Amino acid sequence: MRFFNKQKQNMKVKRGGYTLVELLIALFISTLLAIAVSQATTSLYSTYKNVYALREIESGAISILDRLTREIKNSTSIDLSNSVLDSDSGRVSLNVASSTGSYNTKIYLSNSRLYISRDGIELGPLSPSDVKVTLVNYSLINSNNNTATGLRVELVLESPDNSPTDWSKTFYATAIMRGTY
Amino acid sequence: MIYLYQKNKGSLLIEVLVATSIIVTAVIASVGVFGTMAHLSYKNTAKIQAAFLADEGIEATKTLRNASWNTNIKNLTIGTKYYLYWNNHSWNINASTTMVDNQFVRYFTLYNVYRDASFNIVASTTSGSSIDQDMRGLIMNVQWSDEAGTSTKSIDTYLYNLFSN
């Protein structure tokens, strides 16, 4: 800024500091930069939260539907008295009879999470803790071939509460009870 | 000399500001790169949904196969697009475009499977091969659109007349 002063004799005075105008301009520019940085940081954070939320939904869908279809394909019959079909908060109870023994698997909704139990003993949740299962609907497939039926599953997963965008994604799966073959 | 001496004392305010601006511009540009990455990752969910739909399509055609091979599968025209829809607790086949959740189009096509005298699957061009009437090749496709265009996920498998029905 000192080049504004063309007279050499003024230099000594100038060296002492900046003028008020210079400081104000500098402050103004610094404020603009600070605002830009803070906005970038905010958008970075919300983008990160969104990416995280979607990733949790995706991994939740994969872990739930992979396990669910595997359990259905494994099963021999459906225990209708302990299942809730065609409901938005459905549950399913599957019987498995194999050469190594018989057991029962239940998959049920509790506090917006899906849990699995075997012979009444809880094995744990199927989905990440911060993904909400807002809908799980099981439908039995009508079949004129009674030996081969299965289930169709509709699953809606919602993002965690702190996600900037309220994501809600629907996934579908169908699996035939291979044990009925 | 005095000028040089002064110059060595430190940076000018304007220099610091220029440097800060350059750094801030670089940081904001890198945030932009992160935004692009996020945009790509938003598209990822559709791929997973499509993969499950394709997988479901295979099982759905198997339920139709289980119900009756002769009624549901054998009569379908080779190479024609067929759409699946869920209605009244069963899977159904539709010849006109059917959407899933207004986002995905799922269709399948069948192709003939040729076998040689030893019942091995061979190319249709192999001499002495014949069509296996109890088997069809099945290609399950799921299509969806976003701003970048249309994406397709396909699974290629076989359907067999397992219950001879």
Higher-pLDDT residue of A130 and A12 is A130
User: B85 vs chain A: nearest CA distance in angstroms?
Assistant: 12
**pLDDT given for residue B148 in this prediction:** 82
Are residues B50 and B37 part of one domain?
no
pTM: 0.84
Q: Within an 8 Å CB–CB cutoff, is residue A130 touching chain B? A: no
Instruction: Give the model's pLDDT for residue A1.
Output: 47
Q: How confident is the model at residue A145 (pLDDT cuts 50, 70, 90)?
A: low
Any CB–CB contact under 8 A between A32 and chain B?
Answer: no
B79 in the same domain as B17? no
Domain that residue B33 falls in: 12-42
Rounded distance between C-alpha atoms, residue A136 and residue B45, angstroms: 18
- What total of structural domains would you count in chain B? 2
Interface of A with B in 57-86 (CB under 8 A): 57-58, 61-62, 65, 69
List, for residues B118-143, the tens digit of each pLDDT value.
999 999 888 889 999 999 999 999 99
Q: Which residue has the tokens 């919300």?
A: A46
Nearest beta carbon to residue B90 from set A43, A62, A141: A141
Does B51 lie in the same domain as B25?
no
B144 and B112 belong to one structural domain:
yes
| Residue type at position A62 | I
Residue B7 lies in a domain: no
B37 and B52 fall within a common domain: no
Q: Tell me the three state secondary structure of residue B122.
A: strand
If asked whether residues B74 and B122 sit together in one domain, one would say yes
Q: In chain B, which residues have their Cβ closer than 8 Å to the Cβ of A141?
A: 63, 89-91
Q: Does B162 touch chain A (CB under 8 A)?
A: yes
Tokens matching residue A105:
């698997």
The four Cα atoms B13, B14, B15, B16 give a dihedral, to 10 degrees, of 50
Pick from A4, A45, A69, A141 the residue to mutate for testing the B interface (most B CBs within 10 Å).
Answer: A141
Compute and round to an integer the Cα radius of gyration of chain A. Answer: 31
**pLDDT of A92 higher than 70:** yes
Q: Are residues B21 and B85 in the same domain?
A: no
Residues B36 and B53 in one domain: no
Instruction: Write the DSSP string, A38-74.
Output: HHHHHHHHHHHHHHHHHHHHHHHHHHHHHHHHHHHHH
pLDDT digits (tens, 9 = 90+) for B18-44: 888 898 888 888 888 888 888 888 899
> pLDDT tens-digit profile of A14-37?
556 778 888 898 899 889 989 988
